[in-house]
Amino acid sequence: MKRLLMGVCLATLLSTPVLAETPANTLVIAKAIDDMVTMDPAEIYELSNSEVAVNVYDRLMGLEIGDMKTLVPKAAESWSVSEDGKTFTFKLKPNLKFHSGNPLTADDVAFSLQRVILLNLTPAYLLQGLGWTPENVKEMAKAVDPATVQLTINEKYAPTYILNLMSTVTSSIVDKKEALAHEKNGDLGHDWLKTNSAGSGAYRMRSWKANDSVVLEANPDFRLGAPKLQRVIVRHVPEGATQRLLVEKGDIDIARNLTPDQIKGIAGNTDLVVETFPKATVYYLGLNQKNDKLKNPKVQEALRWLIDYQGMADSFLKGQMLVHQAFWPAGFYASLENNPYKLDTAKAKALLAEAGYPNGFDIQLDTGNTQPFTGIAQSIQSTFAEAGVKVTINSAEVKQALTKYRARQHEMIYMYWGPDYLDPNANADSFANNPDNSDSSASKPLAWRNAWDIPEIMAETKAALKESDAEKRKQQYLDLQTKLQTTGPFLNMFQESEQTVMRKNVKGFFSGPNSDLVFYYQTTK
């Protein structure tokens, strides 16, 4: 009977809102989660599911609330590196348990890393860079004993690079026994894990319904202690206007996607608080280099001068997007913070004429069908038209746009990118790295998605990764960002600043610079 009543309560909460306030032990968040396509950590590569994953799964290393700059052991207790810099040994904290009750061991850690390589899904390239292949990964990532896991890499890199990799969603620790209990045709539990969870984090996933909701329940055995609230519900509410009504009425606790006008409209409402969280997410226009027009350097340069960056930032994006024209976000080590481009139609027309397109051309633009994507796409369409570039906007759910993008079937796309970890290589490894430009490539970073073949730039990216002198390395990344500002298919435009609206009784909600640094476990009401 108790389980039945809980189900009825949840069903009511997730239906058309009629409540005056949310349950005292439940945090209800409204945001657009239409980018969620999977909950398997070996496949997760979107913002919304990364946020859920950090609350459901643990990792060897990571960042904790209170310090977003210092990488610390999480499931690991300690780590060491061999003299040749190629073998990393991690000791695990004692008495860790998965949600299933199974003990978390080194074998689970090794299995979790191995399956990323063996499944070879979108984020696999992060670990493939270590020289791991389906043929060698079981030797390169292995358990020495129940409390010790050993990782071997093919060449020496800065230790911070390896530790950062162990802090990513991709390196989340999966319950091996639970995953294999649901294995189908050798898929290592992948089909089941797309819609279920097998973690040891602060919460366990009770349910996920695409384009509807995610329901999480507290894990009383979490290594940092039981979460403050028993339940978290993330509701898919794509419209900011609807979110505003819900949070004003008290039917939700937190609204995550209000527009600047809607934020302005709640001024004076003493029941609500607006918190601003600086983010590391960058937004850019990607140009598929399979398109001959977009491959032309003068066309690329012309389009850079056809975007009203500041106009958008000062109007419908005010307070939520800052102009930023480099692939690594501002505010971090090796950030390039100059923005050389502005709307200059005359300069763009001259460049298009030099490129052989004095009257412009027709082009398709894919993007999401919610704000800020739609407003930005419409602005691009308007200013491009001033130089004769006729843009047709193809709006769809973000996950649909991403599926097309990952198949290299777009012409132009307006999309976001959040770093997997807070080191400039996290973005350089995708914007400025493309080991194999063939359609069948196993490695599929952003440069690959846009068919940008860059052996010389890729060599510079790898050199910066291996540089041990911090100042020299910083300059290498600054030089790389400067080069990509004027070269290639990425027109970097904005960096996000998240404005979150909360009921005044909500305390302790933490939204860090990355989507996988949004923590629920200290939230109270």
Q: Characterize 275-297 residue by residue with b for buried, 16 or more Cβ atoms within 10 angstroms of its Cβ, and e for exposed.
A: eebbbbbbbbbbbbbebebbbbe
Tokens of 472: 């020299």
In this predicted structure, the answer to whether residue 393 has a pLDDT above a threshold of 50 is yes
Q: Which helix (H) or strand (E) holds 486?
A: helix 470-486
Strands (E), 164-230: 203-209, 213-218
The proportion of the chain whose per-residue pLDDT surpasses 70, expressed as a percent, equals 96
| Tens of pLDDT, residues 468-519 | 899 999 999 999 999 999 999 999 999 999 999 999 999 999 999 999 999 9
pLDDT at 414: 98
| Tens of pLDDT, residues 313-325 | 999 999 999 999 9
Q: Which residue has the tokens 């996950």?
A: 399
Q: Which residues are CB-neighbours of 67 under 8 A, at least 6 positions away?
A: none
Name the DSSP class of 21.
Answer: S
Beta-bridged to residue 150, according to DSSP, are 89, 142
pTM, two decimals, is 0.87
pLDDT at 106: 98
Average pLDDT of the segment spanning 218-235: 98
Closest CA to 307 of 411, 247, 387: 387
pLDDT at 20: 61
Average pLDDT of the segment spanning 418-432: 95
Average pLDDT of the segment spanning 119-148: 96
Q: Which residues are CB-neighbours of 506 under 8 A, at least 6 positions away?
A: 27, 253, 254, 273, 523, 524, 525
CATH 3.40.190.10 corresponds to the domain 13-233+504-519: yes
Q: Which residues are CB-neighbours of 256 under 8 A, at least 6 positions away?
A: 29, 30, 31, 32, 243, 498, 500, 501
**Residue 322: count of CB within 10 angstroms of its CB:** 18
The proportion of the chain whose per-residue pLDDT surpasses 90, expressed as a percent, equals 94
pLDDT at 69: 87
In this predicted structure, the answer to whether residue 18 has a pLDDT above a threshold of 70 is no
pLDDT at 158: 86
Q: Which residue has the tokens 């004769």?
A: 388
| Tens of pLDDT, residues 164-186 | 999 999 999 999 999 999 999 99
In this predicted structure, the answer to whether residue 9 has a pLDDT above a threshold of 60 is no
Q: Tell me what the pLDDT averaged over the chain comes to.
A: 95
- Strand, coil or helix: 440: coil
Q: Which residues are CB-neighbours of 382 under 8 A, at least 6 positions away?
A: none
Residue 50 carries which side chain, given as an amino acid letter? S
The matching CATH number, chosen from 3.65.10.10, 3.40.50.300, 3.10.105.10, 3.20.20.10, for 280-498 is: 3.10.105.10
pLDDT at 1: 37
Q: pLDDT-based confidence at 4, cuts 50/70/90?
A: very low
Structure-derived torsion over alpha carbons of residues 497, 500, 505, 506, reported in degrees to the nearest 10: -70
In the chain, domain spans: 13-233+504-519, 280-498
